[in-house]
Chains A and B, each alone.
Chain A
Amino acid sequence: MNVSNPSMVQSARMTISDVLAITKRNLIRFKRTPEILIFSSIQPVMFLLLFNYVFGGAIGVATPGTSYINFLLPGIMAQTALFSTLQTPIALVDDLDKGAIDRFRSLPMSRGAVLAGRTFADSLRSLFIVVLMFVIGTLLGFRYQAGGGKMILALLLLVSFSYAFSWLTATLGLFIRNAEAVQTAGFLFVFPLTFASSVFVPVVTMPGWLQVFARNQPVTQLVNAMRALMIGGVAIDAVYITIAWTIGILVVFVPLAIWKFKRTV
């Protein structure tokens, strides 16, 4: 990038160290605001309980060959991780407004590190919440049937997809640059993506035109893959498609977010 810049290896090392420093800063902030972590954990747990006990009886009829909690848990874990990506742009806009990002920008650090550190920390938080949900789901009667290795693969798939997705929401935040507006805008597409999917109900119960969307959108693929990995079934296609979506989202939104970030005042 410029004349006296260090070697590739050195600059890669510096970038990693920048990302770690920013991630650490964001994790400290989570630690010092336990109330946020507590409530953002309670909310998905409440969803899990509500769906299982309120809708479970009715929807359970339509879930072939397994109890509703077994069907629901992989889906609701995905929904939780996706909803939590809406926190990313809110925190980003807050940092922009409070001047924290001005400070970062006046430092000789990597430009992308602010965003990478943000998305990393947010993904770690969402991993924590998702694991918590898994534990509670197990208490509610969920039994994984496909072995621990596949279970971990399902978690990895989920966390990397939602990591990629948080770059998308971060981009949205940088373009909209207002915390409330970005949250509302985020719901506009996170809601259809999670509800018009196989998260809560089998896609076959939907009207035909909606099935076309529901079958082919990434959240369904992610949830199908997780479900197959957690409770058994054929996973391989859905896993590849989910990985493809993850890479695709990263390829588009990482450069776009960094481009916009550099131009955001």
Chain B
Amino acid sequence: MKNTSEVAVEVKNIKKYYGEVKALDGVSLRVDKGKIYGLLGPNGAGKTTVVRTLATLIEPDSGEVTIGGLDVVEHSTQVRRMIGLAGQFAAVDDYLTGRETLMMVARLYHVPKKEAKKRADELLRRLSLQDAADRPAKTYSGGMRRRLDLGASLVGKPEILFLDEPTTGLDPRTRQELWGLIRELVAEGRTLLLTTQYLEEADALCDYISIIDRGKVVKSGTASQLKSSLGRDVVELQVKDEDHENALKVVRTLTKSKPTVDEVTKSISIRASKGAEMLIKLVNALDKAKIKPTDLAVHRPSLDDVFLAVTGKKPKRVATKKKKGKK
């Protein structure tokens, strides 16, 4: 990471255990001012626990978190003035209208009534909720609820935003809209940390990504750093289940690097500096062993491959037409 920019959030080796369960097992990260930081990981990896710790909702058992230079445990009230949180479940009150929700949150930030009114109006317009402003949120679509939730986190004009899975469960179009909004917010000088299970999202939005699994950061870097850390090409092989073991044996004779196997699809990925050559070698070796591949492809490593390599799981896919290995 660059040392030139200012640090907005610094997390040093935080741990949080719930009995035997290590929700966080020594997480460290640093978010630079004005950047989008992505925490990428499967369900239950500890992403939400990190966000809740940063947002002062829970205290870590050990380790240190500073936001804008202030310790979150000691100076929680001041920290709360700097941050905005939009949660995973879109904590939007069903029975309040959009305007009432924003007004209430503004009042809780101790914004004077007149100013609160102004901010609510501005946000409703900005989030394209002005037509629904005086309807109870019960009548809102999923995307509208997320926007309102995001709006509520913006009312206090925070410098730092935490978004916990802001687009989970949204359709692709709504997701794209929200991405646009997130980019705008950062372009205005805010710092943002978001969690996601979607690689495309991390790839599209984040300046810096940490992959988190079982309460630990397992890999960090920019999207391109993460991709290039895997070597240049990936050869992906799919065979019938009964051939799987033999195919793995064949693969192991061809490469020193450990092939990875997707838990669900059982597809075998082989990293190679020259994908095309590996492909020919693999085809010949499989032919000799009388194994017929059901699918065989070479592609540049995607974040999918990084994720698979470090967590052993395929990440969730965004429902878009984009194919894996797009870049």
Q: Chain B 230-266, CB within 8 Å of chain A: the 1/0 string?
A: 0000000000000000000000000000000000000
**What's the nearest-Cβ distance from chain B to residue A121, in Å?**
12
**What's the nearest-Cβ distance from chain A to residue B31, in Å?**
17
Q: Chain A 5-41, CB within 8 Å of chain B: the 1/0 string?
A: 1000000001001100110110011001100000000
Q: Which residue of B lies closest to A25 (CB)?
A: B104
Stretch among A103-111, A188-196, A223-231, A243-251 lining the B interface? A103-111
Contact B85 A103, beta carbon cutoff 8 Å: yes
Please give, as numbers and ranges, the residues of chain B lying within 8 Å of A102 by CB-CB distance: 52, 55, 57, 85, 87, 91
Within 8 Å by CB of B56, from A3, A29, A106, lies A106
Please give, as numbers and ranges, the residues of chain B lying within 8 Å of A24 by CB-CB distance: 104
Q: A21-B107, A32-B136 are in contact. Are A108 and B87 (CB under 8 A)?
A: no
Contact B93 A29, beta carbon cutoff 8 Å: yes
Tell me the bound Cα distance from A25 to B102 in angstroms: 11
Q: A107-B108, A108-B81 are in contact. Are A100 and B55 (CB under 8 A)?
A: no
Q: Which residue of A lies closest to B136 (CB)?
A: A32
Tell me the bound Cα distance from A130 to B268 in angstroms: 71
B17 at the interface (CB under 8 A from A): no
Q: A28-B96, A99-B89 are in contact. Are A21 and B108 (CB under 8 A)?
A: yes
Within 8 Å by CB of B87, from A2, A3, A103, lies A103
**What's the nearest-Cβ distance from chain A to residue B239, in Å?**
45
Please give, as numbers and ranges, the residues of chain B lying within 8 Å of A100 by CB-CB distance: 91, 93
Contact A103 B107, beta carbon cutoff 8 Å: no
Please give, as numbers and ranges, the residues of chain B lying within 8 Å of A25 by CB-CB distance: 93, 96, 100, 104
Please give, as numbers and ranges, the residues of chain A lying within 8 Å of B91 by CB-CB distance: 98-100, 102-103
Q: Chain B 67-108, CB within 8 Å of chain A: the 1/0 string?
A: 000000011011011011101111101011000100011011
Q: Which residue of A lies closest to B93 (CB)?
A: A100
Tell me the bound Cα distance from A137 to B95 in angstroms: 33
Tell me the bound Cα distance from A190 to B58 in angstroms: 33
Tell me the bound Cα distance from A24 to B84 in angstroms: 22
Among B84, B85, B136, residue most surrounded by chain A Cβ atoms (within 10 Å): B85
Q: Which residue of B lies closest to A6 (CB)?
A: B110
- B residues 27-58 touching A (CB-CB < 8 Å): 52, 55-58
B156 at the interface (CB under 8 A from A): yes
Number of interface residues of A (CB under 8 A): 28
Contact A265 B77, beta carbon cutoff 8 Å: no
Contact A21 B104, beta carbon cutoff 8 Å: yes
Among A2, A22, A100, A107, residue most surrounded by chain B Cβ atoms (within 10 Å): A107
B8 at the interface (CB under 8 A from A): no
Contact A108 B93, beta carbon cutoff 8 Å: no
Q: A1-B77, A25-B104 are in contact. Are A106 and B96 (CB under 8 A)?
A: no
Q: Which residue of A lies closest to B152 (CB)?
A: A103
Q: A2-B75, A106-B57 are in contact. Are A14 and B96 (CB under 8 A)?
A: no
Tell me the bound Cα distance from A29 to B138 in angstroms: 12
Tell me the bound Cα distance from A115 to B78 in angstroms: 22
Among B88, B91, B96, residue most surrounded by chain A Cβ atoms (within 10 Å): B91
Contact B109 A33, beta carbon cutoff 8 Å: no
Tell me the bound Cα distance from A28 to B94 in angstroms: 11
Tell me the bound Cα distance from A102 to B86 in angstroms: 10
Contact B95 A14, beta carbon cutoff 8 Å: no
Q: Which residue of A lies closest to B74 (CB)?
A: A2
**What's the nearest-Cβ distance from chain A to residue B106, in Å?**
9
Contact B83 A106, beta carbon cutoff 8 Å: yes
- A residues 81-115 touching B (CB-CB < 8 Å): 98-100, 102-109
Contact A32 B95, beta carbon cutoff 8 Å: yes
Contact A29 B89, beta carbon cutoff 8 Å: no
Contact A29 B95, beta carbon cutoff 8 Å: yes
Q: Which residue of A lies closest to B55 (CB)?
A: A106
Please give, as numbers and ranges, the residues of chain A lying within 8 Å of B96 by CB-CB distance: 25, 28-29, 32
Q: A17-B107, A21-B108, A29-B96 are in contact. Are A105 and B77 (CB under 8 A)?
A: no
Contact B95 A33, beta carbon cutoff 8 Å: yes
Contact A98 B110, beta carbon cutoff 8 Å: no
Please give, as numbers and ranges, the residues of chain A lying within 8 Å of B93 by CB-CB distance: 25, 29, 100
Tell me the bound Cα distance from A3 to B71 in angstroms: 13
**What's the nearest-Cβ distance from chain A to residue B42, in Å?**
21
**30 pairs, CB–CB < 8 Å, chain A vs chain B:** A2-B75, A4-B78, A14-B110, A21-B104, A25-B93, A25-B104, A28-B95, A29-B93, A32-B136, A98-B89, A99-B89, A99-B90, A102-B57, A102-B85, A102-B87, A103-B85, A105-B55, A105-B57, A106-B56, A106-B57, A107-B80, A107-B109, A108-B78, A108-B81, A108-B108, A108-B109, A108-B156, A109-B109, A109-B110, A265-B52
Given contacts A100-B91, A108-B80, 13 further A-B contacts (CB under 8 A): A2-B77, A4-B78, A18-B108, A22-B108, A28-B95, A99-B89, A104-B108, A105-B57, A106-B55, A106-B83, A108-B108, A109-B110, A265-B52
Q: Which 6 A-B pairs have the closest CB atoms?
A: A99-B91, A32-B95, A108-B80, A106-B85, A21-B107, A103-B91
